[in-house]
Structure 1
Amino acid sequence: MVPSSSNPGDPSSSSTSPSGSENLSAFHRFLRKAQLVSGIGVTAEERTKDLEELNIRRCEKMKKELIDTSPLLVFMLKHLRLSGCQVPEQNIVCVPCASPFTSAASTNSASNPHPSETQLHAGAYLPFPHGAIKLCAGHFFSKQHVESTIAHELVHMFDECRFKVDWQNLRHHACSEIRANNLSGDCKYTREMRRGIISFTKQHQACVRRRAITSVAANPACPSPAHAERAVNEVWDSCFADTRPFDEIY
């Protein structure tokens, strides 16, 4: 028999008990979190990494809830499946993005047909190699913002699946951007007000057109903003009226 190294009567033995270890571990976690929040005793890089991990956890939680409960996303995912395009949950990924504000697409427009304007860069559709959606963790101001961002990118995915979009073709790109902005909720009146844009006549159409032109103009295949506007104008009537897979604008 191996003798016990601890003496039940020794007060110090309680520090090595399971409950004592758990309390100590909890205290260390609390202390570490306090350091990361206050910045005392940690580097800027450590604080940035902790914030990124927190934002990713929050983004993933909202994403999972929305995929299961949002009528808009459930509907889109169903129709993607019916079109022969499965969208596994792991293909919708929350990641840290370089900057919350950007005036252009991410580095490769072929993998990002949805560059942002000068508002929060919230996500992108990545058609290569297998089709995925990138969500910029920490760039969302509400759960509804996450919902509309996923819906926007799912419209791109639906177009890719059904119509074999060539993202280097400005007319193709323009049509998908018109549809994505029109159907996702991106151009709701409340969203435009948050952007500081207030209009009382044809607000929705103006928003869809503006955002589509901005996106196409950032495509490296587009020679100039004038070419982007021309591409949007050429396909506007047919693409704005095309609400598939919806019966009407959401």
Structure 2
Amino acid sequence: MPSTGSQPSANDDTNIFNKWSRKFSVVTGLGITEEDRLRELETHQNNVCNRWKKELMNHSPAVTFMLKRLEQSGCPVAPKHLSCQPCGFDRSGGFVPSAGITILCQGKFWSKTHMEHTLVHELVHMYDQCMFQVDWNNLRHHACSEIRANSLSGDCKWTRELRRGFFSFTKQHQACVRRRAVLSVAANPACPDVATAEKAVNEVWDSCFPDTRPFDEIY
């Protein structure tokens, strides 16, 4: 009995072979110049980043919640405001207040869940900027937003900390939030040293850590 479905053609097999041959060359560097390999790798990373971004913006409960709250607050976020780019620093993302965009560092995400946590983190910064007009050169302002973003985004879930090499059963979440907030504030050009960053985080901790807006509780 003849099949009613379409059969793979020789062209299909050739296209599949060429696709995987190209991927093999990009991964191994064989049969391709280093310049071409890096260009192909950057294109691949950008495609993955944008595909995951689209999926998260449409289907992630935490991301869609934040997008809805930002829109209701008068600061709608479109895909163009979340830019997948290569980054020259060892971070997965960053908010650029002067441009009103978040940079998603393509190639820095080990999973879509990691990207989801990063995206929610940066959306919390965007929410704070929208609602409270944060002065990012004011270390106390910056510290408060970092405390909230690290606490609410999923960045400090136990599994994330375990992957980073931090293992604790007592007050793990608070310790992670505090540590990561200090690191971020210390990287602020307006911050002279880590001790100053720690001081800023400590000064706002009691008021900012319990503040889960716009969530009802820690995500």
Q: Please give the TM-score of this superposition, normalised by the length of structure 1.
A: 0.79
Aligned to 2:214: 245
In the TM superposition, what is the alpha-carbon distance from 1:33 to its structure 2 partner? Answer: 4.6
In the TM superposition, what is the alpha-carbon distance from 1:82 to its structure 2 partner? Answer: 0.8
Distance 1:185 1:33, change over 3 A: closer
Alignment of 1:17-56 (within 5 A): 26=15, 29-30=18-19, 32-56=22-46
In the TM superposition, what is the alpha-carbon distance from 1:38 to its structure 2 partner? Answer: 4.1
Aligned to 2:47: 57
Q: 2:205 aligns with which of 226, 236, 246?
A: 236
Q: 1:174 aligns with which of 139, 143, 156?
A: 143
Distance 1:171 1:25, change over 3 A: same
Distance 1:226 1:61, change over 3 A: same
Aligned to 1:191: 160
State the one-letter code of the partner of 2:50.
E
Q: 1:126 aligns with which of 66, 78, 96?
A: 96
Distance 1:198 1:38, change over 3 A: closer
State the one-letter code of the partner of 1:78.
K
Q: Secondary structure at the match of 1:97?
A: coil
Identity %: 59
Distance 1:72 1:27 in 2: 36
Aligned to 2:181: 212
Aligned to 1:158: 127
State the one-letter code of the partner of 1:73.
V
CA offsets 1:71-106 (integer angstroms, 9 cap, x no match):
10111001001110010111111111225x3xxxxx
Q: Secondary structure at the match of 1:241?
A: coil
Distance 2:151 2:16 in 1: 50
Aligned to 2:117: 148
Rg: which structure is higher?
A: 1
The runs of 5 or more residues in structure 2 that have no matched partner are 1-8
Aligned to 2:169: 200
Q: Secondary structure at the match of 2:216?
A: coil
Distance 2:139 2:26 in 1: 46
Distance 1:206 1:27, change over 3 A: closer
CA offsets 1:150-171 (integer angstroms, 9 cap, x no match):
0000000000000000000000
State the one-letter code of the partner of 1:206.
A
Matched, 1:135 2:125: no
Q: Secondary structure at the match of 2:209?
A: helix
Q: 1:71 aligns with which of 42, 61, 72?
A: 61
Write out the 4+ residue segments of structure 1 that deviate beyond 6 Å after TM superposition.
22-25
Distance 1:83 1:160 in 2: 11
Distance 1:25 1:81, change over 3 A: same
Distance 1:152 1:173 in 2: 13
In the TM superposition, what is the alpha-carbon distance from 1:40 to its structure 2 partner? Answer: 3.0
Distance 1:185 1:39, change over 3 A: same
Matched, 1:88 2:78: yes
What is the aligned length? 210
Distance 2:22 2:169 in 1: 51
Distance 1:34 1:225, change over 3 A: closer
